[in-house]
Structure 1
Amino acid sequence: MEDCHKLKPVTAAHKFIDYYFPDCDGALLAGSVVRGEATETSDLDIIVFDETVESSYRESLINSGWRIEVFVHNLDSYQDFFCSDYKRARPSLPRMVSEGVVLRDTGILDSIRNEANQLLAEGPEEWSSETIDTKRYFITDALDDFIGCNNRSEAIFIAGTLAELVSEFVLRTNKRWIGASKWIIRSLRDYDKNFAEQFAEAFDEFYKNDDKTDVIRIVDRVLDPYGGRLFEGFLIGKK
């Protein structure tokens, strides 16, 4: 079942549910089309709750001219994903459930949404001092590599690693959710728009002009409240 041209997102999502999951207990349309951030390559993220499904699964397909990612759960399996997302501090499913537009509901979505909203409001588990020190050490290691690197190609990839480590550190030490790929900068903006702009500009300056100054400065600024760079005295695994 595939149309030759795109329908409106909500219309396409309703049509998809009517055809593939006509007896489901609940369904939501989430993702960039709901947030008003859709691009030419955006797909439809659809979450389905169906008590007859034995186990959760994810499937990709094309329907009504749209690429569709469908995430299917029974009325228990989604809780395992909520728990997993909480532990890794990336609330993918809770966020989709919270923001989603209702496509179908037999009366089960309010409670699931309340669980998602409560988890999102709570934020991720607070880092221990040991975890903070470990993260400081690995940021220091990446920063030293970055500072000392004279090979432009290698420095580009070191910078990417450093950006991920530092963004994670900023967000987790402030008990905020993290993200991957485009959600790194989105998560930083949710935390502090000014810092996110400075962070992006620092790495942009390196990528454009091979100038490491602002990257080094912003990394040190992030680490300073926690004791700065860490190498000497760091210990892990010794009994």
Structure 2
Amino acid sequence: MDDIQKHILAERALAAARRCFANRYTGAAFAYATGSLLRGEGTAFSDIDLVVVFSSVERAWRESFTHEGFPVEAFVHDEETLAHYIHADAESGCPVMASMVATGRVVGPDIKRAHLVQAKAAAMLAAGPQPLAGARYDMLRYQVTDLADLRGTRPPEEIAAIAAQLYQKLADLILLGRGEWTGRGKWAPRLIGRLDAQLAAEFDAAFRLAAGGEGARLLAFADGELALHGGRYFEGFRQDAPLEARRLE
């Protein structure tokens, strides 16, 4: 698909999002239409992400459906529930909702209010994640250490399974450990690539080899990242259970 075709598809998706908003979410104040289709990066199989905002809802919800041939993932909120999820994402270091709001195309009648909310989300993204520190930092270091269980001889299928578990945690350590937002799924390699193309190439090569049963390069890569944070973290790790974690039979 060339750039012209992608642009045409993006405009079709935006028009469909506007009609979807008007027909399905009567009374909503505004929405943000976003996703790869709207950015001109989508394919024939991409969906529309639609963040819908009412003046008030009893509880937020999400739903999936098809509209005019486009798969749609809708996230329905009022401003309070939207703020909750934006800030929860920020605390996790993975700003999914904030990114959708900040990059979305505004749909609906209350354009002024939509832009105010959008500006807050964009400012939060620009400020970057909270510094990786304390118990959260210790847990991530421990998880990467624990999951990088690639020393010694293992069958190829176990190495591939270990790599699958390790991928996200190691990506989190790479990005959050450098003061960058992290991402889930396809966003993890994209964000690492934007940060450092060479690092992304090494990350990808190590996991490709591990998926084929060769774990030495992934182990070396993980140990290299851990070395930036004081090395492997096992000795001295402790996690206390919640006080309420008990059950009387």
1:158-177 alignment runs, 5 A limit: 158-177=162-181
Matched, 1:224 2:207: no
- Given that residues 27 and 48 in structure 1 are in contact (C-alpha distance below 8 angstroms), is that contact kept between their aligned partners in structure 2? yes
Which shifted more, 45-54 or 116-125? 45-54
Are the aligned partners of 2:203 and 2:221 in contact in 1 as well (CA < 8 Å)? yes
State how far apart, in whole Å, the 2-side matches of 1:84 and 1:189 are: 25
Give the aligned residue type for 2:214. D
Q: Secondary structure at the match of 1:33?
A: coil
SS in 2 for 1:45: strand
Report how far residue 199 of structure 1 moved: 0.4
Give matches, 1:8-19, under 5 Å. 8-19=12-23
Provide the C-alpha distance between the structure 2 equivalents of 1:22 and 1:234, rounded to a whole number of angstroms: 52
Q: Secondary structure at the match of 1:32?
A: coil
Two-structure CA RMSD over aligned residues (Å): 2.2
Contact kept? 2:145, 2:234, Cα under 8 Å: yes
Contact 2:223 2:232 (8 Å CA) reproduced: yes
Mapped partners of 1:136, 1:218: distance in 2? 14
Q: State the TM-score, normalizing by the size of structure 2.
A: 0.84
Contact 1:55 1:77 in 2 (8 A): yes
Give the structure 2 partner of residue 214 of structure 1. 217
Counterpart amino acid of residue 160 in structure 1: A
Instruction: Render the CA deviation track for 1:92-118: whole Å, top value 9, x for unaligned.
Output: 111011111122242211210111011
2:44 is matched by which residue type in structure 1? E
Figure out how many residues of one structure are paired with residues of the other and give that number.
Answer: 231
Stretch of structure 1 that moved more, 166-175 or 133-142:
133-142
Residue 39 of structure 1 and its aligned partner are, at CA, apart by 2.3
Is 1:119 equivalent to 2:124 in the alignment? Answer: yes
Quote the residue 2:151 is aligned against.
Answer: 147
Give the match's secondary structure for 2:228: helix
Q: Is residue 2:105 matched to residue 1:101?
A: yes
Question: Secondary structure of the residue that 1:124 maps to in structure 2?
Answer: coil
Deviation readout 1:26-72 (Å, 9 max, x if unpaired) = 12210111222212321111111111433321111111111111111
Query: Which whole-Å CA distance do the structure 2 matches of 1:38 and 1:228 have between them?
Result: 40
Q: Which residue of 2 aligns with 1:183?
A: 187
1:203–1:24 CA distance, 2 compared to 1 (3 A) = same
Provide the rounded CA distance (Å) in 2 between the counterparts of 1:234 and 1:97. 38
1:38 aligns with 2:50: no
The AA in structure 1 aligned to 2:222 is V
CA deviations 1:149-174 (Å, max 9, x no partner) are: 52222221111122222111111112
Deviation track 1:190-231 (CA, whole Å, cap 9, x = no partner) reads 3222211210111112324x3323212211221112221233
- Secondary structure of the 1:59 match is strand
Tell me if structure 2 keeps the 8 A contact 1:34–1:99: no
Range 77-86 or range 98-107, more displaced: 98-107
Residue 8 of structure 1 aligns to a residue whose secondary structure is: helix
Q: Matches of 1:101 and 1:87 in 2, distance apart?
A: 25
- Distance change >3 Å, CA 78–CA 133, structure 1 → 2: closer
Gaps of 5+ in 2: 1-8, 242-249
TM-score by length of structure 1 reads 0.87
Distance 1:155 1:74, change over 3 A: same
Between the aligned partners of 1:55 and 1:236, the Cα distance in structure 2 is: 33
C-alpha separation between the residues in 2 aligned to 1:76 and 1:177? Answer: 23
- Per-residue CA deviations over 1:107-145 (Å, capped at 9, x if unaligned) read 2112101110111112222122554344333322222x2
Q: Is the 8 A contact 1:149 1:155 kept in 2?
A: no
